Structures are given as C-alpha cells and as structure tokens.
Structure 1
Amino acid sequence: MFRALLKTPYLRTVITYRPNSHVPQISFLARHLTHSTQIKMANNSDAEWRAVLTPEQFRILRGKGTEMAGTGEYNKHFGKGVYNCAGCNAPLYVSDTKFDSGCGWPAFFDAIPGAVGRNVDSSHGMERIEIVCNNCGGHLGHVFKGEGFDTPTDERHCVNSVSLKFHDK
C-alpha cells in the first residue's frame, strides 16, 4: 500500500493509495493548503465568496454554472502536477488521471480519494451526477459513466477549468 503525507503548518492528512482504486500513486506534496483555509472557506457566506472569487468563478463554483466548451484554460493542458479547487485550494485531481476526451472540458478518470463528492442533479430535464469539492462544496462539473473511454474506471469527470487551479510538481 502506498501512502502520501500532505504536510502543512496546521494540518497533516494521509492519502492512501489502494491498488484496486485505479488512482495512480500520489508522489507529491499538495501545496498551499492550511487548516484555517479549510475551516473558513467551508462556512463562507455568498458575500465572502464574492470577495475572494472572480465573478466567473462565483457563477460556476457557487451557482453551479458551466463554462463554454473549449474555452477553459485546462482543457488541453497536460502538465504534471495537481489540480486544486479554485475556491478553497483543496487538492482534487492528479495530472496522471487527466485524459483528452474531446468534450471541450478537462476530463479526469478519477479523483484523489475523498476529495470529490457526488450529488444527483435533476436540472435541465435530465438526471446527471454532479461533482463537488468535498472541502468547500464548490461545483466542479459532472461525472459520466460507461462512455467507452480506454480508462481504468470507464468514467469521465467533466470539470470546468474555472473550478480548478493547477500546481506543477
């Protein structure tokens, strides 16, 4: 079993790699994540969120919006590192799980264990699975299953670039 220890001045978190989870080994330290950031951001009011997010980030992360396909900064980005939540800076995805799905948004086949939550989204006359940051509840996008991509999970986490911040290794 592989273990990566995320160290910060106020928080120590262990992320465990389980061989059957299909998540590549996490061989990095997540950056800029502090205990005070987690607690404060989880309880922010809309006014506090508006003070720290751009209008577009607020529309997507807090209002469950979607950026236009093909416009996001991370759609065709394939650097090595970690994709964090743009709202609270919690680590969400490692670059080893990113793939080019051709959908117009960044696509990942799996998240860092425990980082992303799933909710049923019945808006727009259909049922989808919304994905959110488990730390701050920010809207990331949606997850789709069974599309036939050659990935270990046969899932596509379709994530808005605006919801992410990339930190290279």
Structure 2
Amino acid sequence: MELNKDELRKRLTPLQYQITQESGTERPFSGKYNKFNKKGTYICVVCHQELFSSETKFDSGCGWPSFNDVLEQGKISLHKDASLGLVRTEVRCSKCQAHLGHVFGDGPLPTKKRYCINSASIEFIEPETIASSQDQNTL
C-alpha cells in the first residue's frame, strides 16, 4: 500500500505520524487506551485495518495497551528492531506498514505473548460501529 506522506501529515496528529511513520513511541502510561476496557476492536490509525480485539487485551502494567494475540494471523508483520541498543521484535500493520509497537514473550497463556502497542497507532471501534459498516458494505 503506497502512502502519501504529505496527506498523512495532514490527517494524523504529530504524535500519530511520529509513531506510525518514524517508529516512535509514546510516553508510558500516557496513551488513551492504556487503562481502557470497553469491548470492541482496535484498528490501525493509518489504514483502518482491524488488528486486535478487546477480548485479548490485558493490563500488563507496562504503560502501553497490551494484547496477547492479534485479531487474525496476517494482520501484522514482525521485524527485527536493533535500535536503542536492544534487540526487540517490532510490530507493524501488514497492510500499510505503520509502526504499532513491539511484541515480547512474557505475556499470559495461552500465547505467552505481549503485544505492547502505542495508543496513538490504533483507534477503538465499538461492535455496533463494525456491524453497521459491514451492513452498508453489503448493500
């Protein structure tokens, strides 16, 4: 998916742009979805691909929204990140390659994964909104 950087700068907030396009990160405990517990789906702020379900969200205490699984395999891509003098696994949206966060192997069962995701890289959609947009697509 080819993205126009100028259009993205206009559409996204400066923080959203820095995180998704420049692999930045938000300060821990500052994101709007860190202590957020509504039921629904989290989508990519750039391309709106569905990524995570509230069913797999948990409070890891790390300061960022954490999920123990993706909504569906293939929704994200994983990349080696050796920045900051650490070797980590970066998580990107598979559709638009937006930086989302990192994944670690210290999450709860059954996956033992902790997808540590920046709030600024995702948006929350309530179940009614998803059902409504799917109904409109079938008309």
Band of TM-score, shorter chain: 0.7 to 0.9
Aligned length: 126
| Structure index of larger Rg | 1
Structure 1 stretches of at least 4 aligned residues deviating more than 2 Å after TM superposition: none
Task: Determine the C-alpha separation between the residues in 1 that align with 2:90 and 2:60.
Answer: 18
Larger helix fraction of residues: 2
The offset of 1:67, in angstroms, is 0.1
Q: Counterpart of 1:56 in structure 2: which amino acid?
A: L
**8 Å CA contact retained: 2:68, 2:108:** no
Structure 1 portions without partners, runs of 5+: 1-41
Task: Determine the C-alpha separation between the residues in 1 that align with 2:22 and 2:4.
Answer: 13
- What is the aligned-residue RMSD (CA, Å)? 0.9
Aligned equivalent of 2:56, options 93, 97, 104: 97
2:69 alignment counterpart? 110
The offset of 1:167, in angstroms, is 0.5
Structure 2 portions without partners, runs of 5+: 128-139
2:44 alignment counterpart? 85
1:153 alignment counterpart? 111
Percent identity of equivalent pairs? 44
Task: Determine the C-alpha separation between the residues in 2 that align with 1:151 and 1:75.
Answer: 20
Give the TM-score, by structure 2 length: 0.87
Task: Determine the C-alpha separation between the residues in 1 that align with 2:35 and 2:14.
Answer: 23
The offset of 1:77, in angstroms, is 0.6
Aligned equivalent of 1:133, options 84, 87, 93: 93
**RCO (CA 8 Å, sep 6+): is it higher in 1 or 2?**
2
2:32 alignment counterpart? 73
Q: Deviations over 1:56-99 (max 9, x none)?
A: 10000001000000000000111110000011111000110100
Larger strand fraction of residues: 1
Aligned equivalent of 2:20, options 51, 57, 61: 61
